[in-house]
Amino acid sequence: MQNKDKSIILQNLKESSTEWIDGQGPLSDIVISSRIRLARNVEGIPFSPRAEQAELKNIFELSRQIVEEDSLFKDSNLLLLDELTPLESQFLVEKHLISIYHAQEKHPYRGCVFNQKETLSVMVNEEDHFRIQYLLSGLQLNNIWKLISDIDDEIEKKVTYAFSEKEGYLTSCPTNVGTGMRASIMLHLPALAMVNGINDILKAISKIGYVVRGFYGEGTEVMGNLFQVSNQITLGLSEEEIIDNLEKVNQQIINKEQKVRKELLSNSKSQLEDQAWRAYGILSSARIISSTEAMELLSKLRFGVGLGIIPYPDLGALNKLMLLIQPAYLQMLTGKGLDPFSRDLQRAVLIRNEINH
Amino acid sequence: MLCQICKKKEAAITFTKVVGGQKTEIHLCKDCASIFSDKFSIFPLPQFDINDLLAGLLNAIDLYHKEEGVIPGKKIECSNCHLTYDEFKQSGKLGCSVCYRDFREQLTPLLRRLHGNSEHVGKIPRQSKSKLNKIRKIKQLRKELQELVLQEEYEKAAKTRDEILKLEGVLKKKNAK
């Protein structure tokens, strides 16, 4: 474990460069990131929403012990959510380190463990005792599975997981039981969106057991043409099969996006150039900008950069901006609470600084 | 078909939402669809709400039980955390790992509907792996023991019995830990 002081941990988190959005992974022009999470519970203790305070404390102390003793967590931090302000919790949500549910839930001893690169995080006492999450940039679910499975084994050395031969890993919600695994891929699909090709795909995907969400997770609307596709089925398939199926589905979407990009590039290059440079123009000079407008323009600019018709900024910088412009992140960076109008002013400053860099 | 928003032009684009096999469709004309896309930067998603799905499935299974003549009103409760099945139906969340055993009869059809399957085939925790293997081994040795006794192979039977006792001892120790 690294630091124990909450303010130091949060300060570092504000200044950190989140690895999974660095734009360096495979197929980064279309795939922002890949993610796997595993839901795990300790045998003999009720699932967190139904556990007594002493039991929740046990789970939290257990995770503290693991983080302090295990070398896998040597560069990790542990935060107790009870000690955070609502703004700080929301900041963790926007960083994709915890879920909205975890931030808002009322029971005590909810924790968040994360490593320095922010690729690994563990939600302690969410709906399940442990929700282990691993994120990497670009399309690399197989790599993530190897990494997260090792972490899972390491935690299991210290605890006995709730597991049944028949139903597999037992979870609070029956929609997660079995592997306890949710794998997802975040896609940027501006070309398909431009030719109204998204609907057919979404229709097909939802029919075969996959879920599509926005960039900011469950219950959020899609912004900036970013789509998160994940598996719904967790029981009766092995982890490898789930990953393989999800990658196949995503590969098809990626192929379609690539095809449309090529067509647009040969038929409407001037329009694409115009669109990307206009987006650049507004982003680099606007004085007031809402998050919706910013996301739309960042998407257009990212599209242009991905196609190679505009040389800068790089994909990593654009991905990072998509995180930074969120309300809580902005307020953390500014160091004070801001009303929506001040946020729009501040957002414009931040984007100008990054884009004109 | 006319667009469901302007109710004037012919619908050209269809959004489909499928929840638990139930399909809802929205038909829009090109203009209305493009207004949607301008306003929100993207079309409203055919959201797959897992809670709707769960609630729908639970009610369907209940109805099935009623039709099958399963006596309603019988209160099912988890022997460990005392969550009742009715409480589970409302929240969609189980209370503890024992709930899976005590509600198995009700849960199995639900799991089959949710996942298309009710048996785990994925990763096994290391601890359970050795435990599961031992349980399987004991089962197999018991069978062998019976056969050996029938064949009056008492010496071999004694050895097998000792092996079973040893394995059971290991399991007991583990459980006590």
Q: Does A82 touch chain B (CB under 8 A)?
A: no
The alpha-carbon gap from B103 to the nearest alpha carbon of chain A, in Å, equals: 12
Chain A (3-62) residues lying within 8 Å, Cβ to Cβ, of chain B: 41, 43-47, 49-50
Say whether A193 and B45 touch across the interface (CB within 8 A). Answer: no
Is the pLDDT reported for residue A87 higher than 90? yes
pLDDT for A149? 97
From the list A49, A127, A153, which residue is nearest B126 (CB)? A153
Please give the angle made by the CA atoms of A110, A114 and A120, to the nearest 5 degrees: 120
Question: Where along chain A do its domains lie?
Answer: 6-257, 258-355
pLDDT for B22? 61
| Residue A217 annotated as binding site | yes
Sign of the torsion formed by the C-alpha atoms of B88, B92, B98 and B100: positive
Fold of A6-257: Creatine Kinase; Chain A, domain 2 (3.30.590)
Q: Where would I find the beta strands (DSSP E) of chain A? A: 31-40, 77-80, 111-114, 120-124, 130-137, 163-164, 168-169, 181-188, 210-213, 226-231
Average predicted confidence (pLDDT) for chain A: 92
pLDDT for B48? 44
Give me the mean pLDDT over the B105-118 stretch: 89
pLDDT for A204? 82
Residue A259: what residue type? K
- For chains A and B, CB pairs below 8 A equal 163
CA A56/CA A47 separation, integer angstroms? 9
Chain A (171-210) residues lying within 8 Å, Cβ to Cβ, of chain B: 171-175, 177-179, 181, 193, 196, 198-199, 202-203, 206-207, 209
From the list A164, A237, A292, which residue is nearest B121 (CB)? A237
Tell me which chain A residues have a C-beta less than 8 angstroms from the C-beta of B40: 221-222
Torsion of CA A79, A84, A90, A95, to 10 degrees: -30
- Note the pLDDT tens digit of each residue in A164-182: 988 999 999 999 999 999 9
Q: What are phi and psi of B29, to 5 degrees?
A: -80, 170
Q: Does A277 touch chain B (CB under 8 A)?
A: no
Tell me which chain A residues have a C-beta less than 8 angstroms from the C-beta of B128: 161, 163, 165
The alpha-carbon gap from A8 to the nearest alpha carbon of chain B, in Å, equals: 36
CA A159/CA A43 separation, integer angstroms? 8
A interface test, pick of B14, B78, B120 with most A CB neighbours within 10 Å: B120
**Minimum mean pLDDT among A73-82, A177-186, A194-203, A298-307: which range?**
A194-203
pLDDT for B31? 65
The alpha-carbon gap from A224 to the nearest alpha carbon of chain B, in Å, equals: 7
CA A284/CA A313 separation, integer angstroms? 11
pLDDT for A217? 59
User: According to CATH, what is the number of the domain B1-47?
Assistant: 3.30.60
Tell me which chain B residues have a C-beta less than 8 angstroms from the C-beta of A45: 96
Q: How many CA atoms does the CB half-sphere of A175 hold within 13 Å? A: 21
DSSP A90-159: HHHHHTTSS-HHHHH---S--EEEE-TTSSEEEEESSSSSEEEEEEEESS-HHHHHHHHHHHHHHHHTTS
| Residue A285 annotated as binding site | no
Residue A296: what residue type? E
| Nearest chain A alpha carbon to B114 | A175
Q: What is the ipTM of this complex?
A: 0.86
Residue B144: what residue type? E
Residue B26 burial by CB count (10 A; 0-12/13-18/19+): exposed, middle or buried? middle
* Closest listed residue to residue A110, CA positions, set A133, A139, A89: A89
The alpha-carbon gap from A21 to the nearest alpha carbon of chain B, in Å, equals: 22
More confident residue, B25 or B114: B114
Give me the mean pLDDT over the A227-242 stretch: 94
**Minimum mean pLDDT among A115-124, A346-355, B21-30: which range?**
B21-30
Say whether B122 and A178 touch across the interface (CB within 8 A). Answer: yes
Under DSSP, the state recorded for B81 is T
